[in-house]
Amino acid sequence: MVLTKIKMKRVLLVSLIAVVFAFFGFYLSSKQSSEQSALPAFSAKFRDLDGNYQSLSSFGSPLILINFWGTWCAPCREEIPTLIALQKEFFSPSFTIVGVAIDSPENAANFVKEFGVNYPILVGGGDALAVSKLLGNKSGAVPYTVLVSGSGKILWSHLGMVQEGDIRYAIKDRLI
Protein backbone atom coordinates (compact mmCIF):
# COMPACT_ATOMS: atom_id res chain seq x y z
CA MET A 1 0.00 0.00 0.00
CA VAL A 2 2.86 2.41 0.81
CA LEU A 3 4.48 1.66 -2.56
CA THR A 4 1.21 2.43 -4.31
CA LYS A 5 1.04 5.91 -2.73
CA ILE A 6 4.65 6.61 -3.72
CA LYS A 7 3.94 5.44 -7.28
CA MET A 8 0.83 7.63 -7.40
CA LYS A 9 2.86 10.67 -6.29
CA ARG A 10 5.44 9.97 -9.01
CA VAL A 11 2.73 9.59 -11.64
CA LEU A 12 1.16 12.87 -10.53
CA LEU A 13 4.53 14.64 -10.55
CA VAL A 14 5.39 13.33 -14.03
CA SER A 15 1.91 14.32 -15.27
CA LEU A 16 2.29 17.82 -13.84
CA ILE A 17 5.68 18.23 -15.51
CA ALA A 18 4.20 17.01 -18.82
CA VAL A 19 1.36 19.55 -18.55
CA VAL A 20 3.83 22.38 -17.86
CA PHE A 21 5.94 21.41 -20.88
CA ALA A 22 2.84 21.07 -23.09
CA PHE A 23 1.65 24.54 -22.03
CA PHE A 24 5.10 26.03 -22.66
CA GLY A 25 5.23 24.38 -26.12
CA PHE A 26 1.76 25.70 -26.97
CA TYR A 27 2.77 29.18 -25.83
CA LEU A 28 5.90 29.17 -28.00
CA SER A 29 4.06 27.86 -31.08
CA SER A 30 1.32 30.48 -30.77
CA LYS A 31 3.97 33.20 -30.38
CA GLN A 32 5.74 32.06 -33.55
CA SER A 33 2.54 31.91 -35.60
CA SER A 34 1.63 35.48 -34.64
CA GLU A 35 4.99 36.59 -35.99
CA GLN A 36 5.06 34.45 -39.11
CA SER A 37 6.39 35.80 -42.36
CA ALA A 38 4.19 36.88 -45.26
CA LEU A 39 7.09 36.86 -47.73
CA PRO A 40 6.02 33.69 -49.62
CA ALA A 41 2.56 35.19 -50.19
CA PHE A 42 4.00 38.50 -51.39
CA SER A 43 5.30 36.93 -54.59
CA ALA A 44 1.85 35.69 -55.66
CA LYS A 45 0.46 37.65 -58.61
CA PHE A 46 -3.18 38.42 -59.31
CA ARG A 47 -4.88 40.45 -62.00
CA ASP A 48 -6.05 43.92 -61.11
CA LEU A 49 -9.29 45.28 -62.56
CA ASP A 50 -7.41 46.50 -65.65
CA GLY A 51 -6.19 42.97 -66.34
CA ASN A 52 -2.57 43.61 -65.31
CA TYR A 53 -0.76 41.21 -63.01
CA GLN A 54 0.38 42.63 -59.68
CA SER A 55 1.91 41.05 -56.62
CA LEU A 56 1.00 42.05 -53.08
CA SER A 57 4.54 43.38 -52.67
CA SER A 58 4.10 45.81 -55.57
CA PHE A 59 2.20 48.28 -53.41
CA GLY A 60 5.38 49.19 -51.52
CA SER A 61 3.78 50.55 -48.34
CA PRO A 62 5.38 49.87 -44.96
CA LEU A 63 1.89 48.79 -43.82
CA ILE A 64 -0.56 46.92 -46.03
CA LEU A 65 -4.01 45.85 -44.88
CA ILE A 66 -5.06 42.96 -47.13
CA ASN A 67 -8.74 42.03 -47.21
CA PHE A 68 -9.83 38.76 -48.85
CA TRP A 69 -13.51 38.99 -49.83
CA GLY A 70 -16.19 38.04 -52.35
CA THR A 71 -19.16 39.86 -53.84
CA TRP A 72 -21.29 36.83 -52.89
CA CYS A 73 -20.29 37.08 -49.21
CA ALA A 74 -22.75 39.08 -47.07
CA PRO A 75 -20.27 39.93 -44.23
CA CYS A 76 -17.72 40.97 -46.88
CA ARG A 77 -20.21 43.34 -48.45
CA GLU A 78 -21.04 44.80 -45.02
CA GLU A 79 -17.43 45.59 -44.12
CA ILE A 80 -16.48 47.28 -47.42
CA PRO A 81 -17.86 50.74 -46.44
CA THR A 82 -15.63 50.63 -43.33
CA LEU A 83 -12.59 49.80 -45.45
CA ILE A 84 -13.45 52.62 -47.88
CA ALA A 85 -13.66 55.11 -44.98
CA LEU A 86 -10.38 53.93 -43.45
CA GLN A 87 -8.58 54.09 -46.81
CA LYS A 88 -9.84 57.65 -47.25
CA GLU A 89 -8.67 58.62 -43.77
CA PHE A 90 -5.33 56.82 -43.55
CA PHE A 91 -4.06 56.32 -47.13
CA SER A 92 -0.51 57.57 -47.41
CA PRO A 93 2.84 56.36 -48.69
CA SER A 94 3.09 54.42 -45.42
CA PHE A 95 -0.32 52.69 -45.47
CA THR A 96 -2.74 51.24 -47.96
CA ILE A 97 -5.58 48.76 -48.13
CA VAL A 98 -5.61 46.10 -50.85
CA GLY A 99 -8.65 43.97 -51.56
CA VAL A 100 -8.30 40.48 -53.02
CA ALA A 101 -11.62 39.41 -54.50
CA ILE A 102 -12.37 35.69 -54.58
CA ASP A 103 -14.61 36.26 -57.56
CA SER A 104 -14.78 36.91 -61.27
CA PRO A 105 -13.20 40.10 -62.63
CA GLU A 106 -16.62 41.22 -63.91
CA ASN A 107 -18.35 40.79 -60.55
CA ALA A 108 -15.52 42.55 -58.73
CA ALA A 109 -15.46 45.46 -61.21
CA ASN A 110 -19.24 45.94 -60.99
CA PHE A 111 -19.08 45.88 -57.19
CA VAL A 112 -16.20 48.39 -57.08
CA LYS A 113 -18.11 50.74 -59.37
CA GLU A 114 -21.39 50.39 -57.45
CA PHE A 115 -19.83 50.95 -53.99
CA GLY A 116 -17.09 53.42 -54.96
CA VAL A 117 -14.23 51.31 -53.62
CA ASN A 118 -11.20 53.62 -53.34
CA TYR A 119 -8.40 51.11 -52.84
CA PRO A 120 -6.72 48.63 -55.21
CA ILE A 121 -8.58 45.41 -55.95
CA LEU A 122 -6.90 42.26 -57.19
CA VAL A 123 -8.90 39.26 -58.41
CA GLY A 124 -8.21 35.61 -57.71
CA GLY A 125 -9.98 32.33 -57.16
CA GLY A 126 -8.72 29.26 -55.36
CA ASP A 127 -5.18 30.57 -55.73
CA ALA A 128 -6.15 33.65 -53.70
CA LEU A 129 -7.57 31.43 -50.96
CA ALA A 130 -4.27 29.52 -50.93
CA VAL A 131 -2.43 32.82 -50.47
CA SER A 132 -4.79 33.78 -47.63
CA LYS A 133 -3.81 30.51 -45.96
CA LEU A 134 -0.13 31.44 -46.30
CA LEU A 135 -1.10 34.66 -44.52
CA GLY A 136 -2.58 32.78 -41.56
CA ASN A 137 -6.16 32.01 -42.69
CA LYS A 138 -6.24 28.42 -41.51
CA SER A 139 -9.90 27.87 -42.44
CA GLY A 140 -9.74 29.44 -45.90
CA ALA A 141 -12.96 31.36 -45.21
CA VAL A 142 -13.79 34.96 -46.07
CA PRO A 143 -13.77 37.71 -45.14
CA TYR A 144 -10.22 37.52 -43.89
CA THR A 145 -8.18 40.64 -43.14
CA VAL A 146 -4.47 40.72 -42.39
CA LEU A 147 -2.08 43.57 -41.62
CA VAL A 148 1.39 43.00 -43.03
CA SER A 149 4.54 45.08 -42.66
CA GLY A 150 6.56 46.10 -45.70
CA SER A 151 9.25 43.68 -44.54
CA GLY A 152 6.77 40.82 -44.77
CA LYS A 153 5.86 40.29 -41.14
CA ILE A 154 2.26 39.44 -40.27
CA LEU A 155 1.30 41.95 -37.59
CA TRP A 156 -2.41 41.26 -37.08
CA SER A 157 -5.20 39.21 -38.64
CA HIS A 158 -8.94 38.77 -38.34
CA LEU A 159 -11.27 36.09 -39.70
CA GLY A 160 -14.86 37.23 -40.20
CA MET A 161 -16.38 40.64 -40.58
CA VAL A 162 -13.92 43.16 -39.22
CA GLN A 163 -15.00 46.17 -37.18
CA GLU A 164 -13.55 49.65 -37.64
CA GLY A 165 -12.30 49.73 -34.04
CA ASP A 166 -10.34 46.51 -34.54
CA ILE A 167 -8.49 47.92 -37.54
CA ARG A 168 -7.84 51.24 -35.81
CA TYR A 169 -6.38 49.37 -32.84
CA ALA A 170 -4.17 47.25 -35.13
CA ILE A 171 -2.72 50.21 -37.03
CA LYS A 172 -2.71 52.99 -34.41
CA ASP A 173 0.87 52.63 -33.15
CA ARG A 174 2.28 51.41 -36.44
CA LEU A 175 1.55 54.33 -38.74
CA ILE A 176 4.55 56.44 -39.58
**176 residues of the chain, pLDDT tens digit each:** 555 766 666 644 444 443 333 333 333 333 333 446 667 787 889 999 999 999 988 888 899 999 999 999 999 999 999 999 999 999 999 999 999 999 999 999 999 999 999 999 999 988 999 999 999 999 999 999 999 998 888 999 999 999 999 999 999 889 86
pLDDT for 125? 86
What is the DSSP secondary structure assignment for residue 52, as one 8-state letter?
Answer: -
Q: Kind of pairing, strands 45-48 and 53-55?
A: antiparallel
Closest CA to 61 of 99, 100, 97: 97
What is the b/e burial string over 152-168, where b = at least 16 CB atoms within 10 angstroms of the residue's CB?
Answer: bebbbbbbebbeeeebe
pLDDT for 33? 38
